[in-house]
Structure 1
Amino acid sequence: MTENSEDFSTHHSPRSTHQLRMVAWELTRSCNLACVHCRASSERGPYPGELNTKECFRVMDEIAAIGKPVIILTGGEPLLRTDIFELAGYGTNKGFRMVMATNGTLITEENVKAMKASGIQRISISLDGPDAETHDAFRRVKGAFEGSLRGIEIAKKYDLPFQINTTITRANLHLIERILRLSMDLGAVAHHIFLLVPTGRGKELQEQEISALDYEKTLHWFYEQNDQVDLQLKATCAPHYYRILRQRAKKEGKKITPQTHGLDAMTRGCLGGISFCFISHVGQVQPCGYLELDCGNVREKPFPEIWKESRIFQDLRNFDGYGGKCGPCEFRKVCGGCRARAYEISGDYMAEEPYCIYEPA
């Protein structure tokens, strides 16, 4: 689930055209687990008002009118949705790159075959610990770790590429290197780390957020791993990484190009409302899953109108509108701070990123 990206070397005005590169679509909020850090506070459900099959088809038609983004089928747990492969196939036929975010515990040989037949090109599976003790504590279901490993083995059997996603908190920060090594041993094509954003049940874990200093140290460590491991690494909900990337490359005398730094050379930190958006289970369009702001509902407005005209999206596209130290920061076009974290702390999604130790020059 990697991002196509755009050139952020020039100023983006609020009214300039922004190409939609990726959509995370919460097709259901229902989930078979009850993770402590879940942004949606998902449980088994059912949840009323979820978009039906015909509505999803219509929204995909509308998305296709303005681009061919990567679409992440997510939840909750998307495999609980009975029409999931019908929707995946429809998106594939529209020319989207269809991928799926799953906890892995419901994967079977039958549904992996269906994933491949419907055109799903990659899945992500979350592992928040290198062992059952740590991972199951996050998931609040005994056996979740073994269930995810079983799912991974089935995906491997049928040559379905998978990546590992890990949310970092104080509880597993000391284990992150072991989780990376496990990802490599399992045969993952990528390892994406997520820095905890305290929304949903994650609000109860605010004391588990790592410090700003540990945040910085972790991202420096992650940068160093790029030259040492044979899988794609990406930091998500960690926009500071793109500042660190440029600082380190300059210090090392390296030019940042796609050949030397892959997709990291072409993208920026916070993409919410710029080249990425989130669609909730009831059709609410948001900058991301962690920033639960109503930018418009696909039941009430065509998706292209929401993407182009939402006032919130227009704000997020105006980098000069950032508050606090993000405003004058020379890295604001490549970092942008986490808008969700800013909103959770201050109530203002344009406020400064609260977990950044960097002081603008």
Structure 2
Amino acid sequence: MNLDMKWLAWEITSRCNLSCIHCRSSSTMQKEENELTTKEAFKILDDLAEFAKPTIVLSGGEPLLRKDVYEIARYGAEKGIRMTLATNGTLVNDEIAKKIKDSGIKSCSLSLDGATPEVHDNFRKQKGAFKSVMRCIEIFKKHNIPFLINSSFTKRNQKDIAETLRMAIELGAMAWFMFVIIPTGRGAGVTEEFIDKDTYVEILKWHYEREKEGKIRMRPVCAPFYFRLKKEWGDKENIKDKSSPLGFISDRGCIGAVGGVFVSKEGMVTPCSYFPFEVGHVRKNSIREIWENSPRLNELRDFDNYQGDCHYCEYRVVCGGCRALAYFFKGNHLEKDPYCDYKPKRI
């Protein structure tokens, strides 16, 4: 298997000025004492530059609350690494935008969870959050900072899905990513709001039809079985997938462990931000040693280890299933993705 690391999500802080209902890390404004230092952050970037040039997503929490975020971004950019930033947009002004631009950050992702202030602000638990995102987008445009939009949906805001996509296109986003909520952090407290499987397949069918229109790059995140559905639907219509994903995103359903990893604020490495098990720690080993030699990562890369229907599925290389959902709903990360009802032909 090709072990080319294409993507690394990095929680440089867990501090955040919002209290979103689905936050995987239950972030607050409380300061964390064990965050990686600037020097340790530079060491990670040095290690990465020796063997890979993944796209790095500086995230949180709210990464703009960390004072050295621009220093970290600039250091990575000077190493030839593509640096990006995930922000809620509430702290962005002209001065911040200039710092983002000058630090070498290539693009930013913004969260937009509804097409109106009422819906988005309710989801984000902050009055004025929607207005802040709209203001941030105008500032990004002014400073020529490309941005993509991430949207998370539950029953609370699912009626806004189509309108949110329309807004993303109208606002000039470079891409739109639709997220399935994983029951971690505060997300574990809203499982009764999760969209049921049948409805979600209908939403994915709608996504497929919109994706074919080619108005914006789009992808459902943490819904790996979409890539099996997409292939099935495309085969029926005799359509070859010509979608052009962003450079750091593969056309495989789940890229955790296979195409990238997550680094937490204190240096713990996991296959993705939702996965419950540590696969290494950058304070103990280099990121390269973890990437190439972690037993847990290598376990996930060997699809023969998958259990239940995923073990036999002819689409397992295309899809891979969500290992985090399998763990949280079935207690076994190698079991079948609970959102998938496909009965495979045995391979």
TM-score if structure 1 supplies the norm length? 0.93
Corresponding residue number in structure 2 for 1:323? 307
Corresponding residue number in structure 1 for 2:66? 81
Corresponding residue number in structure 1 for 2:100? 115
Give 3-state SS (helix, strand or coil) of 2:336's partner: coil
Give 3-state SS (helix, strand or coil) of 1:31's partner: coil
How big is the shift at 1:174?
A: 1.7
Corresponding residue number in structure 1 for 2:245? 263
Aligned partners of 1:195 and 1:112: how far apart in 2? 29
Aligned partners of 2:92 and 2:130: how far apart in 1? 13
How big is the shift at 1:266?
A: 5.2
Question: Does 2:167 match 1:182?
Answer: yes
Q: Deviations over 1:235-289 (max 9, x none)?
A: 1111011111211111111233xxx222399520111111110000000000000
* Letter aligned with residue 90 of structure 2: T
Give 3-state SS (helix, strand or coil) of 1:235's partner: strand
Aligned partners of 1:293 and 1:336: how far apart in 2? 18
% of aligned pairs identical? 44
Q: Deviations over 1:78-101 (max 9, x none)?
A: 000000101000010111111110
Aligned partners of 1:331 and 1:171: how far apart in 2? 32
Question: Does 2:6 match 1:21?
Answer: yes
The correspondence of residues 1-361 of structure 1 with structure 2, limited to 5 A, is 12=1, 17-256=2-241, 260-263=242-245, 267-361=251-345
Aligned partners of 2:46 and 2:158: how far apart in 1? 42
CA contact (8 A) 2:153 2:179 kept: yes
Aligned partners of 1:266 and 1:318: how far apart in 2? 18
How big is the shift at 1:227?
A: 2.6
* Letter aligned with residue 195 of structure 1: V
CA contact (8 A) 1:29 1:281 kept: yes
* Letter aligned with residue 316 of structure 1: L
How big is the shift at 1:111?
A: 1.1
Aligned partners of 1:267 and 1:309: how far apart in 2? 25
CA contact (8 A) 2:217 2:245 kept: no
* Letter aligned with residue 265 of structure 2: H
Q: Which sits farther off after the overlay, 181-190 or 76-85?
A: 181-190
Structure 1 alignment gaps of length 5 or more: 1-11
* Letter aligned with residue 121 of structure 1: K
* Letter aligned with residue 253 of structure 2: G
Q: Which runs of 4+ in 1 moved over 3 A?
A: none
* Letter aligned with residue 204 of structure 1: G
> Which gives a bigger RCO, structure 1 or 2 (Cα 8 Å, sep 6+)?
1
How big is the shift at 1:180?
A: 0.5
The alignment of Structure 1 onto Structure 2 pairs a total of residues equal to 343
Structure 1 32/41 Cα, relative in aligned 2: closer, same or farther at 3 Å? same
Aligned partners of 2:33 and 2:185: how far apart in 1? 18
Q: Which sits farther off after the overlay, 217-226 or 19-28?
A: 217-226
Give 3-state SS (helix, strand or coil) of 1:35's partner: coil
How big is the shift at 1:53?
A: 0.3
CA contact (8 A) 1:216 1:357 kept: no
Aligned partners of 1:27 and 1:182: how far apart in 2? 29
Q: Deviations over 1:188-209 (max 9, x none)?
A: 1111000111111000011111
How big is the shift at 1:229?
A: 4.7
TM-score if structure 2 supplies the norm length? 0.96
